Amino acid sequence: MTTSGISRRGALRMFGIGALGVASAGVLGACAPSGAGTDAGGGDPKSKNFDFTSWSLNEEAAKPSIEKIIKAWEKAEKSSIRAVSYPYNEYLSQLTLKLGGGETTGAVHLDIAWLAAIAQMGRLADVGPAAAGGGYTDVALKSGVYDGTQYGLPWNIGSIGVIANSKLLKKAGIEKHPATIEEFEDALRELKGLGEGVVPYAAATKVAQLKDIFPWMQTFGCTLYEGGKVTIGDDASVDAVAWYKKLHDAKLIAADVDRFDARALFGQGKAAFYDDAIIGKGVTSAQSKDKTLAAAMQPVERPVLKAGDTPQALLWGGVIAIVKGKGQDAATEFALHTTTDRATTSEYFAARALPPSTTAGLAAPEVAKDAFTTEWTEKITRTATGSPFWQFAQSTQIDEAVAKHVQAVLVGREKPKDAMKEAREEVTALIKR
């Protein structure tokens, strides 16, 4: 029989030291302050290799044109770009986690609504010097600014508005675009009369895109946020939600619809109106079997409460931000090239119908003469405004809090007045956090 050769005391001492070490590390680790936010990123900022993170790389219609830009850059600069993507609806949370864990480097594509949330993590580089010579329009440049610092190089700037299917409108005998809420409702009822499963207005009813309710609240006269106070909960916002509920109950809008469902319905010729960004034309027509749909898509002014009111629309766009650390310099050059190079922006516009953010890019003949883009700019972007909640890091939670209450109204779980009152309280609490 063999013995271990280790004395009892020695073994217990070793075990004790080991256990104490693990426990101490655990307790210290558990008690240590955690969370995102070291100021400097890791890695060599001069590295030619970096990541490019974009939700568009997850979308069939957009992926080829972005990959083309990436490949052209890699070839010209003899570098390597790792393409990373997450679906749009998951993008912000995934990016936040990766960025917080120091796993994201290089360039990141951001919706302008998310800039404040990401910039507050302290990991984005100031791209002011690079932006200065980019030739961006003022509106575009401002979309990349948070708290006085330029964190994003604007890629595309536009708005979210209403798109109509002119073929369906004609079929329903609607000759003139409805200008007021009342006319709009009448038109929706005409469209409902077509039958065949037509959803007159494929408005968002799922939480993910129910932020689309904000322009309707503004249409009814709610300012959302004014003088440091949340105004959701006022009569105008309650009226807007009650009206939305009325459309829902009359089946003029459909239950369980988000942007992707709306595009699918519109693409199948089963929706006459839906809300989308200018990008919608390219995405929706590309996934439709009806090759004449693109020509039938019309940007229309959002109906107003009474004639003479300003049509409401939400500013929309994307910027490319740069993460401090590995590949920072090369990623900045890549972002500048992608957003300002004349040939690149024109080719990207031709592929995706997304207007560029530079003065020269917008003046390019293929952009300036594009009827849909021109019409969109005149009818929708002209009066579009940014959300007053974008200035807060909690802007996405604010959108979600309001959306959940609106959805609760739609499914009959809450009354509009109580729901909006609760939404105001939640939004106010989120802003104070």
Partner 1 sequence: MSTAAPPQKAPPPRGRTGARLSDGAFALLLTAPGIALFAAIIFYPLLSALITGFFRQDLRLPGREFVGLDNFAYWLNGDLFTILEQTLLFTVGATLAPFAIGFALALALNTGIKGSGFLRGVFLFPWVIPGVVVSFLWMWIFNANYGVLNGVLVQAGIIEESVAWLGRPGTAMLAVIVTKTWASFPWMMVMLLAGLQTVPRELHEAASMDGAGAVRRFFAVTWPQVRGVASIVLLLEFIWNFQHFDTIYVLTGGGPAGTTETFATAVYQTAFSGFDIGRATALGGLWMVLLLLLVVVYLRITERKGDA
Q: Stretches 134-142, 319-327, 380-388, 390-398: which one binds partner 1 (CB under 8 A)?
A: 390-398
251 contributes a contact to partner 1 by CB under 8 A: yes
Q: Is 386 in the site for partner 1 (CB under 8 A)?
A: no
Here's the x/- map for partner 1, 168-207, by CB under 8 A: it reads as -----------------------------x-x-----xxx
In the chain, the N- to C-terminal Cα span, in Å, equals 68
Instruction: For the chain, give the number of residues.
Output: 433
Q: Which of residues 95-134 bind partner 1 (CB under 8 A)?
A: 96-97, 100, 117-118, 120-122
Letter string b/e over residues 86-108, b meaning 16 or more CB atoms within 10 A of that residue's CB = bebeebbebbbebbbebebbbbb
338: CB partners within 8 A, 6+ apart? 69, 73, 155, 320, 344
Q: Does 137 bind partner 1 (CB under 8 A)?
A: no
Minimum CB distance to partner 1 smaller for 89 or for 385: 89
Tokens of 265: 């319905």
Decide whether 37 or 64 has the Cβ nearer to partner 1: 37
The CA-based dihedral angle spanning residues 146, 151, 156, 157, taken in that order and rounded to the nearest 10 degrees: 10
* Contact mark string toward partner 1, 14..33, x via CB under 8 A: xx--xx--xx-xxx-xxx-x
SS3 292: coil
- The runs of H, that is alpha helices, within 254-386 are 259-267, 280-286, 293-296, 328-340, 342-352, 359-363, 365-368, 371-379
Closer to partner 1 by Cβ: residue 66 or 393: 393
Region near partner 1 per CB under 8 A, out of 12-20, 49-57, 76-84, 347-355: 12-20
Sequence-distant (≥ 6) Cβ neighbours of residue 146 within 8 angstroms: 115, 116, 119, 120
Q: Looking at beta carbons only, is 152 or 299 nearer to partner 1?
A: 152
For residue 295, how many other CB atoms are within 10 A of its CB?
13
Of 61, 63, 117, 114, nearest to 85 by C-alpha is 63
**Residue 180 CB, nearest approach to partner 1 (Å):** 28
Question: Site residues for partner 1, window 24-83 (CB under 8 A)?
Answer: 25-27, 29-31, 33-38
- Say how far apart CA 205 and CA 244 lie, in whole Å: 10
Residues interacting with partner 1, by CB under 8 A? 3-12, 14-15, 18-19, 22-23, 25-27, 29-31, 33-38, 93, 96-97, 100, 117-118, 120-122, 197, 199, 205-208, 251, 254-257, 261, 264-265, 268, 270, 393, 396-397, 400, 404, 407-408, 410-414, 433
